[in-house]
């Protein structure tokens, strides 16, 4: 009997009843949610949303720029802070900033309050931390709204910006 049960289990013919697998499914769903939560760190007091990247800084930058262009965003420039540090004989872990945006989205925010222009076009910071983990960070649209007192104005544009940034960051880092 023992051999028969072992053979059935080895062949995958042994099925657990649905009630027995419920806990397994729930744990799997919790693990998926925890993994997603760990990969995206919500903006804290500093207003920066951080997303873990599965790639190097250089590869994350290339992916981000490529995806942004595909989605109709303008890339205005990239600042390689590590190269700048090296140019004056200083060391810095890989750190780059991509400056990007779309005037159709940014202009309405500046029409609400021109001080918003200090934060536009948008920027994405891609860096390697002291543990070797690569991150992509960007300003939370909620933070920008609060900083520039955009309550009651530009909310639709900020929501679009938030959704676009979230999708762009996830696609560039995963």
Per-residue pLDDT of 14-72, as tens digits, reads 444 444 445 544 554 555 445 445 556 666 678 999 999 999 999 999 999 999 999 99
Mean pLDDT of 123-152: 95
Q: How many CA atoms lie within 13 A of 121 on its CB side?
A: 15
**Please, is 148 exposed, middle or buried when counting C-beta atoms within 10 Å of its C-beta (0-12, 13-18, 19+)?**
buried
Q: Is residue 6, in this structure, part of any structural domain at all?
A: no
pLDDT value at 9 more than 60: no
Q: Is residue 140, in this structure, part of any structural domain at all?
A: yes
pLDDT on residue 23? 52
Sheet holding 95-101, edge to edge: 40-41, 48-53, 134-139, 122-128, 95-101, 74-80
Mean pLDDT of 115-130: 97
Q: Is residue 16, in this structure, part of any structural domain at all?
A: no
In this structure, what CATH number is given to the domain that contains residue 147? 3.30.310.70
Q: How confident is the model at residue 95 (pLDDT cuts 50, 70, 90)?
A: very high
Q: Is residue 7, in this structure, part of any structural domain at all?
A: no
pLDDT on residue 51? 97
Q: Is residue 22, in this structure, part of any structural domain at all?
A: no
pLDDT on residue 101? 95
pTM beyond cutoff 0.85: no
Q: Is residue 167, in this structure, part of any structural domain at all?
A: yes
At 119 the three-state DSSP class reads helix
Q: How confident is the model at residue 147 (pLDDT cuts 50, 70, 90)?
A: very high
Token pair for 170: 């996830």
CA 20 – CA 85 distance, rounded (Å): 58
Q: Which range of residues forms the domain containing residue 128? A: 41-173
Number of folded domains that form the chain:
1
CA 113 – CA 7 distance, rounded (Å): 72
Mean pLDDT of 79-91: 98
Q: Is residue 1, in this structure, part of any structural domain at all?
A: no
Q: Is residue 36, in this structure, part of any structural domain at all?
A: no
């Amino acid at each position: 009997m023992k051999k028969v049960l072992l053979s059935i289990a080895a062949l995958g013919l042994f099925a657990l009843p649905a009630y027995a697998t419920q806990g397994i499914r729930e744990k799997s769903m919790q693990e998926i949610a925890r993994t997603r939560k760990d990969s995206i760190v919500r903006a804290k007091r500093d207003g920066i949303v951080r997303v873990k990247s599965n790639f190097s800084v250089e590869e994350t930058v290339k992916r981000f720029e490529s995806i942004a262009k595909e989605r109709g965003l303008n890339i205005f420039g990239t600042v390689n802070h590590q190269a700048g540090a090296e140019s004056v004989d200083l060391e810095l872990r890989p750190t780059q900033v991509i400056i990007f945006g779309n005037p159709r989205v940014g202009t309405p925010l500046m029409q609400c309050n021109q001080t918003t222009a200090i934060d536009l076009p948008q920027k994405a910071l891609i860096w390697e931390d002291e543990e070797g983990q690569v991150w992509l960070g960007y300003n939370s649209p909620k933070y920008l709204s609060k900083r520039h007192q955009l309550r009651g104005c530009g909310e639709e544009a900020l929501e679009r910006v938030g959704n676009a940034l979230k999708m762009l960051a996830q696609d560039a880092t995963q």
